[in-house]
Structure 1
Amino acid sequence: MIFGVLKDIKEGEYRVICTPTEVASIISAGHRVLVQKDCGKAAGFPNEAYEKAGAEVVESAEEIFARCDMVAKVKEFEESEYDLIRENQIILGCIHPAGNREEVDAILKSKCIAFTAEDSHRYGSPNCEAAGKQGALFGLESMLTINGGKGKYVGGFAGAPGMNVLILGGGLVGQGALSVLYALGANVTVMDINVGVLRTLSDRYNGKINTMFCTKEAIASVLPQTDMVINAVKWPKHRKDFLIDKEMLKLMEPGSVLVDISNDNPGAIESSYETHHDNPRYVVNGVVHYCVSNIPGAVAHSTSIAYAAVMLPTILSILNDGVVEACVKDGYIRRSLTAYKGYLTHEETSGIQNRPWIPPEVILGIKDRELDYAPPATTTRSTNYYVLE
């Protein structure tokens, strides 16, 4: 196959889906690779490095889409790319389909084969770790007096106490934030709905962090003493309520900070909306909000290396085995199949957008084969199936 690496064009996005190392592996597997000019430049991977790895550097996204059997990027496909997607072409990216109706419209219209990368990770995405760690650092930056924060130092000084930080969610993102903040001396409380996760984290940190079961009422009880909140909860998109509403922000001192790493739309934080690296903060009810949606893009070199390495097996499986066999062998690839030749195959998107869908194993004709198991990617269920004749 001919595989294409696109330059990401989302505002503030500097990562690349494949570094020259992964390109060399794909070529070694017998495929051709085209890369868009400067796709890795901002992340520290010049065109010459891709050429040395054996790739052909081309000028435009138009050429990538026109010549490649499969194209990939880090983030969503943008409006300027919709008409470039070809029928039967395989596309891969963090599509976030349930929250992007227009993008799904374009994908279905094109009759391409689309995979959403965020659902393909068996062991979690390195972008989650990066978002948690770097998000914690951006939160500390937001706490600075010069950025509108109350001006508390994370670990305190002699005679001056450090910060009290509340982390919502004990998954990969929350754990990343915790590792940074704990190391810097913050007094950290982690909330989660899984007591097993809380017990594991408490043991890992020798009982030197606080843990609480996560409810709206529990959050409200600690907000008056909290200097910074980090939201690392993946909020189900069908939920219409919030963990923190705007009125609850008044419980916090002016100049406190809220970092919404999850940045779902809609999400767990009522006052949250997407911002970008060039203007990342705003204030609601006295609380400084940091709500950049692609935090890992700020550390593009490290995140590109980690993410590309994780994505390589998925890319090679699709290229080497084809879509059907890749979905048989790997349940996580199968559950990430978002659209297949004009049919929606993503259950969460069906449930959230009220669209008909068809399970991947049905549309691919593999439901009676022995399939690798993967749990559903989200808790959203849908019985709104296509009526096929």
Structure 2
Amino acid sequence: MKIGILKEIKDGESRVILTPKEVKLLFESGHEVLIESDAGEKAGFSNEDYVAAGAIIVDQSKAIFEQSELVVKVKEIDDQEYSLLKPGQIIFACLHPAANKDEVDVLLQKEVIAVTAEDTHRFGSPNCEVAGKLGALLGTQYLLTTNGGIGKLVGGVGGVPGIQALVLGGGIVGKSAVDVLSSLRAQVKVLDVNIGTLREIQYLFQKNVMTAFSNQETIKEFLPQTDLVINCVKWPKHRKDHLITKEMLKMMKKGSVIVDISADVGGAIETYRPTTFKEPVYVVDDVIHFGVDNIPGAAPNTASIAYASAVYPHIQAIADKGIEQALMDNEYLRRGLTAYKGILTHEETGKIQHRQWTNPIEISKNNVT
């Protein structure tokens, strides 16, 4: 199979979906790998590294789309790439389809086979871990007065305690944020709705971490003392309420910080809006908001190595078996199927966008020869 690796074009995005290691494995399996020139440069992988692994360097993304049966990238399909899609072409990327109606329209109109990579992880995406740790570190930076913050040092010093941090959500992202903040001697409160998760966190981390059940009343109780909020809750897209409303910002101290790693417009943080690394923060009611929606892009070497290892088995399976058989054999890959030759196959997208959708298992059964 001809596999094309695109250079990321999203602002601030420097990751690459496959490193030379995975490319070499694909090449040795008999597949042809094309990679856009300098796709891995900012992640620490040169064109020469990819050539040594067996890849062919291509100067423009247009040629990747024209020649490749399977096109892979980290982030969603950008509007400048829409016209390059071909019917029957397989796309594997973090598509975020439920939040991107225009992209879904194009995927269906172009009759491609699109797989939403973020839904294919059995043990959660490594990008979640990177985002949690990096989000916590970035949040502590904006507490400094040089960055507009309240002027607090994350771990404090002798006689002065560390910051009060509030982490919403105890999943992979939340635990990763807590790992960093607790190690830096912040006083951390973690909120979740799952008693099992809270119990695990209570025993996993140091005693500067405490847990509580997540609800708005508890958050209101904690906000006046909180210096840094890290939101790690993926808010259900059908809900119209929020965990932290604009009105609740008045409870927070001037110069305190909210880092919304989940990056849901209209989500858990009512005042969230997406930003880029060029202008990462904005202020609402004297509270600094960090809104970058691709945080792992700031650590592309670490993130690319981890992410490539996680998605490589799916890409190898598609290349070896063909997409239909690969979908039939793997429920996690099948879970990510978003569009199949003009048919929507992504349940969340169908429900959020009020579209008719077909269960991916039906597609798999009907198309395996």
Tell me which interval the TM-score lies in, with the shorter structure as reference length. Answer: over 0.9
TM-score (structure 2 length as normaliser): 0.98
Identity of aligned residues (%): 52
Q: Report if aligned partners of 1:75, 1:94 keep a CA contact under 8 Å in 2.
A: yes
Asked whether the 8 Å contact 2:186–2:208 carries over to 1, the reply is no
Instruction: Report how far residue 207 of structure 1 moved.
Output: 4.5
Q: Contact 2:182 / 2:206 at 8 angstroms: preserved in 1?
A: no
Q: In the alignment, which residue of structure 1 is the partner of 2:228?
A: 228
1:185 Cα offset (Å): 0.3
Structure 1 segment 97-136 matched on structure 2, within 5 A: 97-136=97-136
Report 1:356-367 matches (<5 A).
356-365=356-365
Secondary structure, in 3 states, of the residue corresponding to 1:121?
A: coil
Contact 1:202 1:208 in 2 (8 A): no
How many Å separate the matches in 2 of 1:5 and 1:135?
27
**Residues 40-80 of structure 1, C-alpha deviations (whole Å, 9 max, x = no match):** 11111111110010100011110000000000000010011
Q: State the alpha-carbon separation in 2 of the partners of residues 194 and 152 from structure 1.
A: 31
Q: Give matches, 1:22-41, under 5 Å.
A: 22-41=22-41
Deviation at residue 208 of structure 1 after TM alignment: 4.0
Q: Over residues 304-342 of structure 1, what are the superposed CA-to-partner deviations in whole Å (9 max), with x where a residue is unaligned?
A: 011011110010111111112111211010010000000
The residue type equivalent to 1:92 in the other structure is: F
Deviations 1:157-199 (A, max 9, x none): 1222210000000000001100000000000000001010000
Q: Deviations over 1:8-37 (max 9, x none)?
A: 101110000011111001111110000001
> Secondary structure of the equivalent of 1:243?
coil
Tell me the residue number matched to 2:240: 240
Contact 1:328/1:366, CA 8 A, preserved across alignment? no
Report if the CA contact (8 A) 2:38-2:46 is conserved: yes
CA distance in 2 between partners of 1:262 and 1:236 (Å): 11
Instruction: Report if aligned partners of 2:14, 2:298 keep a CA contact under 8 Å in 1.
Output: yes
Moved more, 203-212 or 85-94: 203-212
8 Å contact 2:230–2:261 — kept in the other structure? yes
Residue 9 of structure 1 corresponds to which residue in structure 2?
Answer: 9
Residue identity opposite 1:105 in structure 2: D
Contact 2:181-2:188 at 8 Å conserved across structures: yes
Alignment of 1:7-156 (within 5 A): 7-156=7-156
Measured after TM superposition, the shift of residue 366 of structure 1 is: 5.4
TM-score relative to the length of structure 1: 0.93
User: Paired residue for 2:342?
Assistant: 342
Name the SS of the counterpart of 1:196 in structure 2. Answer: helix
Q: Give the aligned residue type for 2:216.
A: K
Question: Cα RMSD (Å) of the superposition?
Answer: 1.3
Distance 1:367 1:68, change over 3 A: closer
Aligned counterparts of 1:318 and 1:248: Cα–Cα separation in 2: 48
Higher mean C-alpha displacement, 124-133 vs 156-165:
156-165
| Structure 1 gap segments, 5+ residues each | 369-389
1:282 corresponds to: 282
> How far apart are the structure 2 equivalents of 1:363 and 1:306?
31
Deviations 1:117-150 (A, max 9, x none): 0000001100000000000000011111011100
Q: Which runs of 4+ in 1 moved over 3 A?
A: none
Aligned length, in residue pairs: 369
